[in-house]
Amino acid sequence: MNTWSNKKKWALLSPQIIFYNTVEKNETVNDGKASVTIAKEGGYEHAPTNQLLSSCVFRGSENPITTSRVYKEDFLCAFDMGHYPFDTQSCSVDLVIKGNIGSFVELVPGNLRYAGKKKLDMYVVQDVALDKFMDSRGVEGLRVDLVFSRRLFAIVLATYLPTGLICIVCFATNYFYSFEAAVTVNLTCLLVLTTIFIGVANSLPTTAYIKLVDLWLLFTLMVPLVEVFLHTYSHYRCAGGRGAAHGVCSTGVDRDGGRVTMAHVSVRRKQRNQEAYRRRICQEQESRDETGDQGGGESKVVGKFSRLWSDISAPEDRGLIIVEYTSRWLLPTIFIVFTIAYFTAGLCLLYD
């Protein structure tokens, strides 16, 4: 293989090629950074004897001349972000002959070899293709199509994993017995999720349509919001609503004999409290029989347990029971089903 000098290189007929899908439609240049090489692939013939210099003549059809140069360009590509981050995008490099020389020179698709790395920092190059194209104005040329997808691991660590863990923290507040603590944790989670949502939206191109990542973030935003509504409803029914008036929120007695109130009430708790009540009555009766106490202590004990029994045997508040099962079982189940369906659909779109 021979390399030409600059003097011979500039004397060579080199048609200019336009990078058609760039902002300024830049062109190729034959400057000092370009190199011209000749590959000896065919035979040669000796020059006629009537020539002064003895030389060998090679046929151009058998010995290709190659011009190479490195270019750095920004190409205009149209991306559909609807499936982000499970999207597969395509960007092209359009090459067109400049001027009337296109009547004498034709761009022919040849062998294309991608020399770079397949796995980049944020993307994976899936396919590279070379073919002819013609746009709506009749311009013909060559098009290099690059198909690439995103690497999901970084996006999962930065977006999906934190938001999923925050939702788990929200579900854990269903086992808090303090209304203030449960609402405070859920509102904090809502604020953090909103911050993540805004950060992700600002890092992506602004579009009028909803992306797949927006569906996930909107769903996770609804989790603490619904939890706040459920905790507020339970607290209202127990502290200031019909539940407090009927005593349905009382679930038992503590070590000092006082009542313990909870926002979540179930039938099983009530049955256990009734059994505990019966055991306390029997123990108190045996204690009075052993001590022979038949005085005023009996009326105090009976009065205390009568008030406890009135709270335990109060009618069930079906609204509180529905809220409890919704917050503890229905919402986590919906979250798990949505997560499985979301990532299944996303991976199908990515590898389809």
Question: Who has greater pLDDT, 107 or 8?
Answer: 107
Q: Report which secondary-structure segment, H or E, holds 93.
A: strand 88-97
CA Rg value for the chain? 40
Q: Is residue 212 domain-shared with residue 340, that is, in the same domain?
A: yes
Give the model confidence (pLDDT) of 219-252 as tens digits. Answer: 999 999 999 999 998 888 776 554 444 444 544 3
CA atoms within 13 A on the CB side of 263: 26
Cβ(116)–Cβ(140) below 8 Å: no
CA distance 336 to 321: 22
The confidence band for 348, taking pLDDT boundaries of 50, 70 and 90, is very high
CA distance 213 to 211: 5
Contacts for 279-285 with beta carbons within 8 Å, 24 or more apart?
280/305, 281/305
Residue count of the chain: 352
Domain boundary among 68, 98, 120: 68
Q: Is residue 312 domain-shared with residue 347, that is, in the same domain?
A: yes
CA distance 342 to 215: 9
CATH code of the domain containing 180 = 1.20.58.390
Q: Is residue 192 domain-shared with residue 230, that is, in the same domain?
A: yes
The number of domains in the chain is 3
CA distance 348 to 346: 5
Give the model confidence (pLDDT) of 136-180 as tens digits. Answer: 777 888 999 999 999 999 999 999 999 999 999 999 999 888 889
* β-pair type (88-97, 35-38): unpaired
Q: Is residue 262 domain-shared with residue 141, that is, in the same domain?
A: no
Give me the pLDDT at residue 77, please.
Answer: 92
- Only one residue has tokens 């005085």, namely 295
80-to-256, 269, 345 alpha-carbon distances in Å: 66, 54, 17
Say yes or no to pLDDT of 39 above 60.
Answer: yes
73 domain-assigned: no
Domain boundary among 12, 34, 68: 68
Of all residues in the chain, the percent with pLDDT exceeding 70 is 74
Give me the pLDDT at residue 239, please.
Answer: 67
- Only one residue has tokens 């609204």, namely 319
Cβ(1)–Cβ(41) below 8 Å: no
330 domain-assigned: yes
Give the model confidence (pLDDT) of 41-77 as tens digits. Answer: 777 787 777 777 777 777 777 888 888 888 899 999 9
Give me the pLDDT at residue 333, please.
Answer: 96
Say yes or no to pLDDT of 8 above 80.
Answer: no
Say yes or no to pLDDT of 261 above 50.
Answer: no
Question: Who has greater pLDDT, 258 or 2?
Answer: 2
- Only one residue has tokens 């509504």, namely 229
Cβ(74)–Cβ(21) below 8 Å: no
78 domain-assigned: no
Q: Is residue 256 domain-shared with residue 323, that is, in the same domain?
A: yes
Q: Is residue 275 domain-shared with residue 164, that is, in the same domain?
A: yes
196 domain-assigned: yes
291 domain-assigned: no
- Mean of pLDDT values over 125-140: 87
Q: Is residue 350 domain-shared with residue 316, that is, in the same domain?
A: yes
CA distance 8 to 15: 15
Domain residue limits at 7: 2-68
Candidates 120, 130, 195; CA nearest to 162 is: 195
Q: Is residue 165 domain-shared with residue 148, that is, in the same domain?
A: no
- Mean of pLDDT values over 187-207: 95
Question: Who has greater pLDDT, 265 or 92?
Answer: 92
CA atoms within 13 A on the CB side of 219: 20
Give me the pLDDT at residue 270, please.
Answer: 53
CA distance 72 to 321: 66
341 domain-assigned: yes
Say yes or no to pLDDT of 293 above 80.
Answer: no
Q: Is residue 117 domain-shared with residue 185, that is, in the same domain?
A: no
Q: Is residue 117 domain-shared with residue 135, that is, in the same domain?
A: yes
Q: For the ranges 18-22, 199-203, 238-242, 346-350, which has the lowest average pLDDT?
A: 238-242
Q: For residue 271, what are its two tokens? A: 């049955």
Cis peptide before 85 (omega within 30 of 0): yes
Residues 6+ apart with CB under 8 A from 93: 19, 21, 75, 143, 144, 146
Question: Who has greater pLDDT, 267 or 91?
Answer: 91
The confidence band for 341, taking pLDDT boundaries of 50, 70 and 90, is very high
Q: Is residue 95 domain-shared with residue 157, that is, in the same domain?
A: no
Q: For the ranges 10-19, 69-78, 119-128, 204-213, which has the lowest average pLDDT?
A: 10-19
Candidates 277, 312, 308, 284; CA nearest to 298 is: 284
64 domain-assigned: yes
Cβ(309)–Cβ(270) below 8 Å: no
322 domain-assigned: yes
- Mean of pLDDT values over 93-109: 83
- Mean of pLDDT values over 128-137: 87
Domain boundary among 130, 152, 174: 152
Dihedral sign (CA 223, 225, 231, 234): negative
Q: List, in sequence order, every residue forming a beta bridge with 37; answer none if it has no partner.
A: 3, 66
Candidates 183, 198, 274, 185; CA nearest to 236 is: 183
Residues 6+ apart with CB under 8 A from 223: 167, 170, 171, 189, 331, 335
Give me the pLDDT at residue 254, please.
Answer: 40
Q: Is residue 165 domain-shared with residue 138, that is, in the same domain?
A: no
Give the model confidence (pLDDT) of 262-285 as tens digits. Answer: 434 444 455 555 566 567 666 666
